[in-house]
Homo-oligomer: A and B are copies of this chain.
Amino acid sequence: MKEEIEELWREVRDLSLGNSGRVERLESPPSPVQFLRDFITPNKPCIISNAITHWPALSSWPHPSYLSETLSDATVSLHLTPTGAADALAPLRSSLCFASASVRRLPFPQALRLIAASNPPNMVAYAQQQNDCFRSEYSSLAADCDPHLPWASEAVGSDPEAVNLWIGNRHSRTSFHKDHYENLYAVVTGEKHFLFLPPTDVHRLYIRQYPAATYTYSEDTGEFGLELEKPTRYVPWCSVDPYPSPETLDDEMAKYPLYFDGPRPFECTVKAGEVLYLPSMWFHHVRQSADDGGLTIAVNYWYDMQFDVKYAYFNFLQSIQYRSTPSPMIHDKLSEETDSGPDDYDS
C-alpha cells in the first residue's frame, strides 16, 4: 500500500495545495462564495490580511494594563506546565504519556502576570481554555472584536460553534494534532508559527495510543508532578515532534522517517492583524513569538465542519496500513480522547 499512499500525498499537492509548502495569502477577506469555493471545499489553508484591522483589540490588547483593568473582576482558567507543552507527549517512567496541563482558576490580573513572567523549566502559564471562553470568561472583552467573521459565517451557514481566547508567551506551544472544526484564527498581538500537514498525510504522524496523564503543580514547592489517570485511559496522539533537540534528532528521524523524509510540511507565520484559515482535519503544530510586553494573544472561531465525503475518505485512508498487511478497522472519532484506535498502524 506504500506506493498508493505516497502517490496520494503527491497528488493532493500537485492538484490543489501546491508543492512550495507556502500558504496562500489574500489581501482582503474573500466573499462567502470565494471562501467556500477556493478554500473550504478544497480543504486548503490561507492567510487573510485586512480582515480585522477595524478591531479595537489590535490597539488596546498589547497594553497589559488595559486587559487587567477590563478583566479586573474576571476569574479565568490558566494552564500550567513545566515547559509550555500542554496536551503533548511527555516522558514518564521510561515511556511516553499524553500529558495535560494543571488547570487553575485565578483572578485575571494574577493570571496575566504569571503568563508574562513564566519560563521553562520551572513553569509556563497559558490561558487556552478551549470552551468558548471568549464568550464566557472573557465576555468583558466582547466589544474589542467581532462576534464572528461574517464572510466565514455566511460560507459555513452558521455562527461559530465556539470562540476562544489564547493568551500565552513565547514558550507556549501546541503539539501536532487535528480538530473537527473549520478554524479561523485571528492574531491580535505577537506572532504564531504554524506547521501543517493535510489530512491525507495522516500516516506520516505515527498516531499511536498513549496513556493519559495530568500535571500537578505545588505552589509551595513550585514543582510539577505527572500522574497517570486511573483507570488508564488511552489517547491517540501524533508521535512526531517536528523540532527535536539536537541530541535526539537522529533518533527521531530514524523513528519517524515518513515525516522527516516525506514532503515538507506547510509552514507559515501569522502576524498581528492577520487571520489564518486552518481547514478542518489538518494536522497543525503551533509555536509563538511574543510582543514587547511578552505576550501572544489570539482569538479563534471554530465553525462546524461538514462530515461529508472528504471525512469518509479520511477515515478510509486512516483504516489502511501504510505497509500492506491486513489492517484493523480504524475509525476517526469526533471525540478522540475516547477513541480506542490502533496501538500502532504504521508498521
B15, B308, B331: the one within 8 Å of A41 (CB): B308
Copy number in this complex? 2
Binds B, one of A107-115, A134-142, A188-196, A319-327: A319-327
Chain B residues with CB under 8 Å of A156's CB are 37
User: Is A57 on the interface with B (CB-CB < 8 A)?
Assistant: no
Asked whether B310 lies within 8 Å of A309 as measured between CB atoms, the reply is yes
Give the docked Cα–Cα distance between A313 and B7 (Å).
10
A316 touches which of B5, B44, B326 (Cβ 8 Å): B5
- B-contacting residues of A (Cβ < 8 Å)? 1, 3-5, 7-8, 11-12, 15-16, 32-34, 36-38, 40-44, 154-157, 198-200, 306-313, 315-317, 319-320, 324, 326-327, 329, 331
Expressed in whole angstroms, the Cα–Cα distance for A310 and B327 within the complex equals: 23
A15 to chain B, nearest CB (A): 5
- Contact call A313/B317, Cβ cutoff below 8 A: yes
Give the residues in chain B near A38, CB-CB below 8 Å. 157
Please state if B310 and A310 are interface contacts (CB–CB under 8 Å).
yes
- Counting chain B CB atoms within 10 Å of each CB, the highest count among A7, A41, A307, A326 belongs to A41
Q: Which residue of B lies closest to A308 (CB)?
A: B42
A36 interface neighbour in B37, B309, B316, B320, Cβ under 8 Å: B37
User: Taking CB as reference atom, which chain B residue is nearest A327?
Assistant: B4
Q: Min CB distance, A326 to chain B, in Å?
A: 7
Assess whether B309 is in contact with A7, with CB atoms less than 8 Å apart.
no
CB distance from A23 to the nearest CB of B (A): 16
Say yes or no: A12 contacts B312, CB within 8 Å: yes
A4: nearest chain-B partner, CB-CB: B319
- Chain B residues near A7 (CB, 8 Å)? 315-316, 319, 329, 331
Minimal beta-carbon separation of A137 from chain B (angstroms)? 32
Q: What are 16 A-B contacts defined by CB distance under 8 Å? A: A4-B327, A7-B316, A12-B309, A15-B309, A15-B312, A16-B307, A33-B36, A33-B154, A33-B155, A37-B157, A41-B41, A44-B308, A198-B309, A199-B309, A313-B316, A313-B317
Q: Are A306 and B5 in contact (CB under 8 A)?
A: no
B316 touches A15 (CB 8 A): no
Min distance, Cβ A91 to any Cβ of chain B, angstroms: 35
Cα-based distance from A34 to B36 in the complex (angstroms): 10
- A308-B1 contact, Cβ under 8 Å, with A33-B36, A319-B7: no
Q: How far apart are A4's CB and chain B's nearest CB, in angstroms?
A: 5
Which residues of chain B come closer than 8 Å to A12, judged between CB atoms?
Answer: 308-309, 312
Residues from chain B with a CB closer than 8 A to the CB of A310 are: 309-310, 313
Cα A313 to Cα B202 in complex, Å, equals 13
Bound CA–CA A235/B157 (angstroms): 42
Which residues from B are CB-within-8-Å of A1? 320
Docked pose: A311 CA to B129 CA in angstroms: 37
Per the bound structure, the CA–CA distance linking A271 and B306 in Å amounts to 30
Picked from B11, B41, B312, the residue with its CB within 8 Å of the CB of A306 is B41
B315 engages A11 (CB within 8 Å): yes
Closest B residue to A33 by beta carbon equals B32
